[in-house]
Amino acid sequence: MDNEKVVLAFGSNEGKREENIKTALKFLETNGVKLEKLSSFYNTKPVDYTNQPDFINCVGVFSTAITPFKLLRMIKQIEKRMGRNTKIEKGPRNIDIDIIFYERVCTQTYNLQIPHGEYRNRMFVLFPLSELMPDYIPVNEKLTVKQLLKKCPDKQSEPKKIAMKK
């Protein structure tokens, strides 16, 4: 398989949030998922389960020769290795990694949905995504990322760009 473009979204709201994301990025890199572009980090309010700390979210564009299902398994292993807590669905977590797009692949199985099933409803994904690729038209869409952001129903997460620690 040739190198494919992949968009991953990251979130963390436990521990050293920025460091958690940076650690996940290193694990991906050492496992054949090469970072090409990373958005700014955004502080966001939790959505769905709101009784938890704010998140830091970002989005990255990567290239990899790993298939979507192997990539999903790798991501789950990274989350587990980093000690992700899954006791509360959509609850606090030190790391969350979602596959948003994988080239122009469209798939829906029990474990994996590409494009991600909720990306268009999540301001905390669309905001950093629009920073990287505002004019991109996702598979099965008629609107650009920038247009999807304007129509996004999420009024709760309120992404605010944060200054990165050196």
pLDDT value of residue 90: 81
For residue 160, give every residue at least 6 positions away whose Cβ sits within 8 Å of its Cβ, in sequence order, or none: 42, 43, 44
What string of pLDDT tens digits covers the 166 residues of the chain? 679 999 999 999 999 999 999 999 999 999 999 999 999 999 999 998 899 999 999 999 999 999 999 999 999 999 999 988 777 788 799 999 999 999 999 999 999 999 999 999 999 999 999 999 999 999 999 999 999 999 999 999 999 999 876 5
Determine if the peptide bond prior to 68 is cis (ω within 30°).
no
Give catalytic status of residue 120 as yes or no: no
Which of 2, 48, 84, 104 is the catalytic position?
A: 84
Domains identified in the chain and CATH numbers: 4-161 (3.30.70.560)
Which of 17, 48, 54, 98 is the catalytic position?
A: 98
Which of 73, 81, 96, 135 is the catalytic position?
A: 96
Give catalytic status of residue 54 as yes or no: no
For 131, phi and psi rounded to 5 degrees? -70, -35
Give catalytic status of residue 73 as yes or no: no
pLDDT value of residue 166: 53
Which of 2, 54, 93, 104 is the catalytic position?
A: 93
Beta bridge partners, 102, equal 6
Give catalytic status of residue 96 as yes or no: yes
pLDDT value of residue 159: 95
